[in-house]
Amino acid sequence: MSKRQIIFDTETTGFLDDPTNRMIEFAGVEMINRQLTGNYLHLYIHPERDIPEDAVKVHGLTLEVLEEKNAPVFAAVGNKIADFIRDAEIIAHNAPFDEGFLNREFAQMGLPNVRELGCQVTDTLAMAREMFPGQKNSLDVLCNRFSVDRSKRVLHGALIDCELLADVYLAMTRQQFDLMGGAGEESCDGQTPVNPVQTTRNGRLKVVRADETELAEHEQYLDGLGDECIWRKSATAEQQA
């Protein structure tokens, strides 16, 4: 599991189906061996066009805000983004949207697209729909479902969304990772992984029977349930059968 992963997100002026829409924010956080490394890339980008009010309501970014931040145009930062994600597995929620905008911006610069940069793309929305079919699977919903604290998320923001998605992704894949034998806990110094204990099974289950004290406590508990105790009715029915 040593492959470099980038959890990333974008904010834009609108939807992908309008070819005039542009990217206005990019964020990516690096993860190696299921641990965030602290390495990240976060950029505000001037779209060279207006930002519709509907989009502003989602992410809170206006042209005035971007200009105050001295946001560069994409052509000035495209190579930096390409180098950051190159040869990594990139993970996004509704990845076709974010990948589509990256590819559009890269194409305008004559750069390779995401796949041509050697990236594998993982869509956590598709993963969630497979895990929870017929249910809502927005990032907010998944944060609630996996007990990920999203109290700092008021508006959509690329960097905070990446941090939340990293926690959600780890929660979604924890069982799969364990089954692959990668869940060995670290030692106290945080450096040396402990090898998981290998056990063998003989095909027989060990039966541990209750002792007299435990049986007496159980009967006392059933007495407290009254005459309608389902456990005793079931036992009586079995004896009569």
Alpha helices by DSSP H, 120-211:
124-131, 139-145, 158-179
How far is the C-alpha of 22 from the C-alpha of 13, rounded, in Å?
6
Quick one: pLDDT at residue 214? 73
Residue 9 marked as a ligand binder: yes
pLDDT in tens, 136-157: 999 999 999 999 987 755 445 7
Distance from the Cα of residue 43 to its chain's centroid: 21
Q: Which residues contact 17 (CB under 8 A, 6 or more apart)?
A: none
pTM tops 0.95, yes or no: no
Which of 1.10.760.10, 3.30.420.10, 3.30.720.210, 1.20.1440.120 is the CATH number of 4-173?
A: 3.30.420.10
How far is the C-alpha of 103 from the C-alpha of 111, rounded, in Å?
9
Q: Which residues contact 193 (CB under 8 A, 6 or more apart)?
A: 184, 185, 186, 187
Average pLDDT value for the chain:
83
Q: What are phi and psi of 20, to 5 degrees?
A: -85, -10
Quick one: pLDDT at residue 222? 72
Give the residue extent of every domain in the chain: 4-173
Residue 218 marked as a ligand binder: no
How far is the C-alpha of 6 from the C-alpha of 19, rounded, in Å?
26
Mean pLDDT for the stretch of residues 211-224: 75
Look up 46 and say whether it is catalytic: no
DSSP state of 222: H
Sign for the pseudo-dihedral over CA of 162, 176, 124, 79: positive
Among residues 42, 46, 93, 156, the one annotated as catalytic is 156
